[in-house]
C-alpha cells in the first residue's frame, strides 16, 4: 500500500504525456502570437471554475492561484456539457474550465501569468486560452521537480486556434 502514491504519480505522468502527444500531432495554423509581458493587473481576477468534484488536479490548480484571483467553484459531473456549450474544441479540452467575468474561457492548467497577460489585453477575436491535457509541471500538475515545455493555445471565436505562448512548468518561456 505504501507504493500507491508512486503508482498514482506514474499514472498521471502517462496520461499527461498521452494527452500532450495527441494535440501536438495535429496540424495547426502556423501563426503565433507572442505573449504580452505584463507586470500586474491592479484589479482582482474573478473566475468561475467548472470541475469534477473528485478531481485533485483541478483543486490543486485553484489552490495555487494567487490571492488576486477570486474563484467560484462549480462542481459538476457533466463537465463535457459545459465545454460543449462554451465551444471548447475537443482536442483542446482538459479537466476543468474557468470563465472570467468578461466571459473569457481558460481551459485546463493555464499558468497565472498567461491569464493576467491575456486579460490585460484580450485579442478581439479570442474566446480564451487553453492548455490541453495535463502537462507535467503545469499549475496543478506538479510531480516533484519535473516539468515539460508545452503550448498555451488561444481559442478564437471563428473556431481557429493559434499558439499564444509556451510555458515550462508555471513559467512562460520564449
Tell me the Ramachandran region of residue 12: left when phi exceeds 0, alpha when psi lies from -120 to 50, beta otherwise.
alpha
Domain that holds residue 21: 4-28+38-173
Instruction: Identify whether 107 is part of a domain.
Output: yes
Instruction: Identify whether 33 is part of a domain.
Output: no
- Domain count of the fold of the chain: 1
**72 is written with which cell numbers?**
467560484
Predicted local confidence at residue 4, as pLDDT: 43
**56 is written with which cell numbers?**
485533485
pLDDT tens by residue, 140-151? 999 999 999 999
Instruction: Identify whether 84 is part of a domain.
Output: yes
Instruction: Identify whether 11 is part of a domain.
Output: yes
pLDDT tens by residue, 107-155? 999 999 999 999 999 999 999 999 999 999 999 999 999 999 999 999 9
Instruction: Identify whether 137 is part of a domain.
Output: yes
Name the least confident of 10-19, 97-106, 130-139, 152-161: 10-19
List alpha helices for 39-121, DSSP H. 56-63, 79-86, 112-120
Predicted local confidence at residue 174, as pLDDT: 75
Amino acid at each position: 500500500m505504501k507504493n500507491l502514491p508512486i503508482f498514482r504519480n506514474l499514472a498521471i505522468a502517462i496520461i499527461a504525456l498521452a494527452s500532450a502527444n495527441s494535440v501536438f500531432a495535429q496540424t495547426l495554423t502556423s501563426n503565433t502570437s507572442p505573449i504580452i509581458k505584463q507586470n500586474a493587473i491592479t484589479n482582482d481576477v474573478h473566475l468561475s471554475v467548472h470541475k469534477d468534484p473528485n478531481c485533485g488536479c483541478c483543486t490543486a490548480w485553484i489552490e495555487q492561484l494567487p490571492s488576486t484571483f477570486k474563484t467560484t467553484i462549480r462542481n459538476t459531473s457533466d463537465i463535457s456539457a459545459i465545454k460543449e456549450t462554451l465551444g471548447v474544441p475537443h482536442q483542446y479540452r482538459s479537466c476543468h474550465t474557468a470563465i472570467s467575468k468578461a466571459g473569457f474561457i481558460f481551459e485546463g492548467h493555464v499558468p497565472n501569468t498567461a491569464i493576467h497577460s491575456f486579460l490585460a489585453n484580450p485579442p478581439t477575436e479570442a474566446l480564451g486560452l487553453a492548455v490541453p491535457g495535463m502537462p507535467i509541471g503545469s499549475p496543478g500538475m506538479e510531480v516533484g521537480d519535473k516539468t515539460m515545455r508545452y503550448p498555451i493555445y488561444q481559442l478564437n471565436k471563428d473556431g481557429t486556434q493559434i499558439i499564444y505562448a509556451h510555458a515550462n512548468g508555471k513559467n512562460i518561456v520564449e
